[in-house]
Amino acid sequence: MKIFRLGLLLLVVGFISSVLLGYVYMTTQKIIAARQKENLIRQQKEIFPEATDFSEIKIEPNVQTKVVRLFQAVQQNKPVGFIGQVSSSGYGGEVLVLVGITPAGIVEKVRILKENETPGLGKGIVRDDFLGQFSGKDWSVVKLRKDKGEIESLTGASRSSRAVTGAVQELGRYLQSHQLILSSRVN
């Protein structure tokens, strides 16, 4: 009888704990989702400050691409550019890059959303002096200098640097293949 009572008590405590944990999870998920949405809008406005709206464009599920999400930046019903979240492989794993490209195929701005690169080396991909090199360039020339491009890689962090240039190239190819941008060069 004592074992039965202890088992029943354990069952009740486990059930109450599960219900409370589920409630806390559901409550915090809504807060986390709202903050992530606010953060994304802030980052989009940083890339295209003149835009008044950002509408998501569906990525075709059967297309092989590393573009995770795609948005069109609009001002007064005119597209001012496209913003893509692109997954790329760096030295420390996945690098999630936010890239803005104008309809003319010019890189507006690049931001790093997520990275796990080596401190002191690959972590430099988040610095403004590295990311600033991308702005104003046609997406098709966004390659490292050692790859016959126009971007200076970080010393000792070529793989991390290539993760960012690769993300820009991936978005440019995707936009061009779907005839969303013009480009003076073809890859």
Give the model's pLDDT for residue 182: 64
* Residues 163/89, Cβ–Cβ less than 8 Å: yes
pLDDT score for 44: 94
Token pair, residue 123, equals 């972590």
Question: Which residues sit opposite 56 in a β-bridge?
Answer: 71
Show the low-confidence residues of the chain (pLDDT under 50). 184-187
Identify the pLDDT of residue 2: 86
Q: What does the DSSP 8-state code read for residue 182?
A: -
The pLDDT of residue 187 is: 44
Q: How is residue 153 written in tokens?
A: 């890689």
Q: What is the DSSP letter of 153?
A: P
What single-letter DSSP state applies at residue 41? H
* pLDDT for 184: 46
Place of tokens 């991390």: 160
Q: Which residues pair with 163 in a beta bridge?
A: none
- Provide the 3-class DSSP secondary structure of residue 38: helix
69 alpha-carbon distance from chain centroid: 8
Q: Return the pLDDT at 53.
A: 93
pLDDT value of position 120: 83
Query: Could you give the CA distance from residue 66 to residue 110 in angstroms, rounded to a whole number?
Result: 16
Strand partners, 79: 74
115 close to 123: Cβ distance less than 8 angstroms: yes
